[in-house]
Amino acid sequence: MHYKNITESGLAIAFSVCLLYLFSCTKASDPAPELKILNSSVVRSSSDSKITFQLVLGKPAAKIVSVDYILTDGTAIAPADYVSETGTISIPENQTQGSFDVVIKGNKLNTRQPNLQFTVSLSNPKNCTLNSSSATGTIITEDGTYLTTDNTGYSTPLSYPGYTLVWSDEFSGNSLDLKVWNQEIGNGSGGWGNNELEYYTNSLKNSFLSNGNLIIEARKETIGAFNYSSCRMTTQDKKIFRYGRIDIRAKLPVGNGIWPALWMLGSNISTAGWPACGEIDIMELIGKTPATVYGTLHWSNTADIHASKGANYALSSGDFSKQFHVFSIIWVQDNIQLFVDDQKYLEVPATELGVTNNPFNLNQFFIFNVAVGGNWPGSPDNTTEFPQRMFVDYVRVFQ
């Protein structure tokens, strides 16, 4: 009986020792936690700011975790865009997160340009392993409101013999004059009747003023069910005109699926409908033929059927994205003429309309837009670059 008790005690002790040994072996072979670093971004401001990088452990560590980091240039260049540095980040025991900041240099002009990027690289991990050894820092600059463009190209005067300048927008302010312009929102009915692919917004991403130009920008970005965004502006119910000379100086976007337009619609469209209201396409460009613009009149004939007459103007060299050109209309009762750089390429007298009530003897309003896709231009493809921008220097109405 006494012997048995000793034996049982000895076995219990031996078993306990084995358990402790197995536990210690398990602890010794327990892998170090994995450490990863997350990408980060920040919108650039006019003054210096910071971008924060987060480091995350897969599980808490029993010891202090540390890792070295170094910053390297990409499209963001130190010290102009950010302050380059090296350092060591520590995560206390039983914790799972750490972070560090990088100083981003401000830009007082708020320049619009492609987003800038730099890289954070990790090395020398202690008490951890690296799940990811690098991350990207993105300085968001694509929404800046300062943008320059080469101003070379054709221009027209501020006065003509026999005419008075009755209205103009030189786009010289800091923001769009909403007493004059509407910014339509959405995709309209069936892509504005053309199966267009963009979603129009009133965001500064898609329209803004800079350096004396109106800039309409089409982007490849997802908004709801749409993969592109852009802007469509009108003067409907705010500025309407009948007759005179109209000059619009603009530099145009090009590329497959891109469709900029400067045009007018009859101000009675809500009652007469289209095309009975009359449409004057002062300029349209189909991006796959970047050296050619089109001018067209649309109306409803006596049989209440859509009728139109148009022509095109082709540059002898280059394309319409290289320089500014002036798109003009000389509009009098019963006659409309269209011009590019003062070269007439279309004339439509009332006798060619075949209607009793000429819609082009009534008031019209302006529409400026950059469409993406649609029945006429087709869809963008892998050769189409984004963003695409139309620059409008001025619109002037002389009567």
pLDDT tens figures, 85-118: 999 999 999 999 999 999 999 999 999 999 999 9
* Domain assignments of the chain as residue spans, ordered by start: 34-140, 165-398
Same fold, 34-140 and 165-398: no
Reported confidence tier of residue 9, pLDDT bands at 50, 70, 90: low
CA dist 210 and 388 (Å) reads 16
CATH superfamily for 34-140 is CalX-beta domain (2.60.40.2030)
Q: What letter does residue 212 receive in the DSSP assignment?
A: T
- Catalytic-role residue among 279, 347, 352, 385: 279
Q: Give the type of residue at 98.
A: G
Q: Taking the model in full, what pTM does it have?
A: 0.89
pLDDT grade for 19, boundaries at 50, 70 and 90: very low
**What is the topology classification, in CATH, of domain 165-398?**
Jelly Rolls (2.60.120)
**Does 221 participate in catalysis according to the annotation?**
no
- Which one from 34, 184, 284, 347 is the annotated catalytic residue? 284
Supply φ then ψ for residue 286, to 5 degrees: -100, 120
**Higher pLDDT, residue 2 or 257:** 257
**Residue in this structure with the two tokens 């209205």, named with its chain if needed:** 167
Contact 206, 218 (CB under 8 A): yes
Catalytic annotation present for 347: no
267-270 contact pairs (CB < 8 A, 24+): 267/236, 267/237, 267/240, 267/362, 267/363, 267/364, 267/365, 268/362, 268/363
pLDDT at res. 41: 98
- Per-residue pLDDT of 238-284, as tens digits, reads 999 999 999 999 999 999 999 999 999 999 999 999 999 999 999 99
Q: How far apart are CA 87 and CA 356, in angstroms?
A: 81
**pLDDT confidence tier of residue 190, bands split at 50, 70 and 90:** confident
